[in-house]
Chains A and B, each alone.
Chain A
């Protein structure tokens, strides 16, 4: 190639791929440019795959094509079949797959070089010390990302509830990680019998899977968003470790950027929830801790007909959606109600708490699916001052994020958590199935307020009824 080596061309193209990742990620963190950012990152990935195919040259393509076709179709199917409410679970699942892939790449490399050649020297002698050590890191981090992500998905779905405490968790975790490293490093640096090394690598896989389980098991479902973000950071690090093992800078750079960016994002999410990362990881928050349960005093409830009459007389209404809205798939009904009110000339806005739902931004995704105009959605900081000038606030399936106890009882379990000040509105309707507590497992003092009226029932049915009552009123 006229004095220019093919490897130099591909190395330069790798830089293009990395530039696309960096610019894409930057654009993804701004609302206006987010979608194009994602497209740039996908293009960067395509470039990376093409470079790699060029680099490996003419080989047997059967497995490559088969793997990409199968994986691509499964990925496509999962996304097409997913509903907007399931997005967080889907992200958790994909993240687990990414971690598992990194661990399996490391296992495949080890197996091919050591076990299948029936080597009589150590892995470190065959692959080099760096590769041997980073293989262990890749397997440990990748496999624990997989098991942690599976648990996170099950907890988000509610298949697995509760947050059982693991006795001496920190010590057990420490022992498992240290044990995994010891087993792995022994296999790579000391053992020169292929069969023994293979057995130790399998033991490492088992220990790594246990690490993920012990890490996520005691953490409550409400904290899963933060956990998934942390696991995402870990799967980036697993990819970077794989990059070291293979001597591939593209993998190291992309993996490390994800690792670092994921960690910062985790931190930002914790701040939005007014928690510290340590506090989240410590677990046991919410779910099942019925210590502070507390009985309710006088709670007023009503029916949709009378509630609709109040709405008809209102000038301004703020709707506060929570996970209950997503779970009941009531986003379209909420939009119908908003439309009916807007038709009457009522000012309607949606107030979005940063952690409403199962993941930050979850409510935006769900409401956008129902084509609620973006202009109607307001973040907590912009709308909190507005509640005092609002006639009616309608809380749909939200609980802890509107509990005034957060500000009134600073030492309480949710003390200090930023909340939406719905209690300031002239009238508050709370659409909820029952008085059962939210994630924090505590009573909501909002429900006892004089200006609060409970509307018991399914969020979708209740909103649909309210919408038709309002629409048919003169």
Chain B
């Protein structure tokens, strides 16, 4: 059995390879939407924020966590919407 840390390191390295391989030969037209979409995906940190704001008492850690949740949600919701708005205007035919 591998330790949890070792599994995480495996996951990290393999995910990096995957990320490198996923993107190749992107037409310039899509540079901005792709950057915008990837940016929305980095809002995944919302998942981390959710686990930290599960108690009612407004301690410093909870308030900082709520702030993180708000910012991450803006990143996710706004990011995917703005990407969609850019792509909606593209003809999409070629």
A440–B10 alpha-carbon span in the complex (Å): 44
| Interface status of A238 (Cβ within 8 A of chain B) | yes
Q: A31-B27, A41-B40, A98-B72 are in contact. List 8 more A-B contacts (CB 8 A).
A: A28-B34, A31-B94, A70-B73, A71-B69, A98-B43, A104-B67, A232-B42, A261-B23
27 contacts between A and B (CB under 8 A): A25-B38, A28-B30, A29-B22, A37-B37, A41-B37, A42-B40, A55-B51, A67-B66, A67-B70, A70-B70, A75-B76, A75-B81, A105-B68, A229-B31, A232-B42, A236-B41, A238-B42, A244-B8, A249-B8, A256-B19, A260-B16, A261-B23, A264-B24, A362-B32, A365-B33, A365-B90, A373-B91
B24:A104 contact, CB within 8 angstroms: no
Instruction: Enumerate A17-69 residues with CB–CB distance to B below 8 Å.
Output: 21-22, 24-26, 28-32, 34-35, 37-39, 41-42, 45, 48-49, 52-53, 55-56, 59-60, 62-64, 66-68
Q: Chain A interface secondary structure, helix, strand, loop or mixed?
A: helix
Residues of B within 8 Å of A53, CB to CB, are 50
State how many residues of chain A have any CB contact under 8 Å with chain B.
115
A90–B16 alpha-carbon span in the complex (Å): 26
A42:B35 contact, CB within 8 angstroms: no
B89:A368 contact, CB within 8 angstroms: yes
B23:A265 contact, CB within 8 angstroms: yes
A101:B22 contact, CB within 8 angstroms: no
A362–B30 alpha-carbon span in the complex (Å): 9
List residues of A whose CB falls within 8 A of some B CB.
Answer: 21-22, 24-26, 28-32, 34-35, 37-39, 41-42, 45, 48-49, 52-53, 55-56, 59-60, 62-64, 66-68, 70-72, 74-76, 78-79, 82, 84, 87-88, 90-91, 94-95, 97-102, 104-105, 107-109, 111-112, 115-116, 130, 225, 228-229, 232, 235-236, 238-240, 242-244, 246-265, 268-269, 272, 352, 354-355, 359-362, 364-365, 368-369, 371, 373-375, 379
B82:A94 contact, CB within 8 angstroms: yes
Residues of A within 8 Å of B40, CB to CB, are 41-42, 45, 94
A34–B94 alpha-carbon span in the complex (Å): 13
Q: Which of B28, B43, B46, B69 has the most CB of A within 10 A?
A: B28
A268: nearest residue on chain B (CB-CB)? B26
B50:A64 contact, CB within 8 angstroms: yes
A374: nearest residue on chain B (CB-CB)? B91
Q: How far is the CB of B51 from chain A (nearest CB, A)?
A: 6
Residues of B within 8 Å of A31, CB to CB, are 27, 29-30, 90, 92, 94
A108–B23 alpha-carbon span in the complex (Å): 34
Residues of A within 8 Å of B61, CB to CB, are 108-109, 111-112, 115-116
Given A22-B18, A60-B55, A63-B62, residue A100 in contact with residue B71 (CB < 8 A)? yes
| Interface status of B1 (Cβ within 8 A of chain A) | no
A67:B59 contact, CB within 8 angstroms: no
A49:B93 contact, CB within 8 angstroms: no
List residues of B whose CB falls within 8 A of some A CB.
Answer: 4-5, 7-8, 11-12, 15-20, 22-24, 26-56, 59-62, 64-94
A368–B52 alpha-carbon span in the complex (Å): 42
Residues of A within 8 Å of B35, CB to CB, are 91, 225, 228-229, 232, 262, 265, 359
A34:B15 contact, CB within 8 angstroms: no
Closest 8 CB pairs of A and B: A71-B73, A260-B19, A374-B91, A75-B78, A112-B61, A360-B31, A67-B69, A368-B89
A30–B30 alpha-carbon span in the complex (Å): 8
A84–B69 alpha-carbon span in the complex (Å): 27
B26:A29 contact, CB within 8 angstroms: yes
A365:B50 contact, CB within 8 angstroms: no
A243: nearest residue on chain B (CB-CB)? B48
Residues of A within 8 Å of B74, CB to CB, are 71-72, 74-75, 78, 94, 97
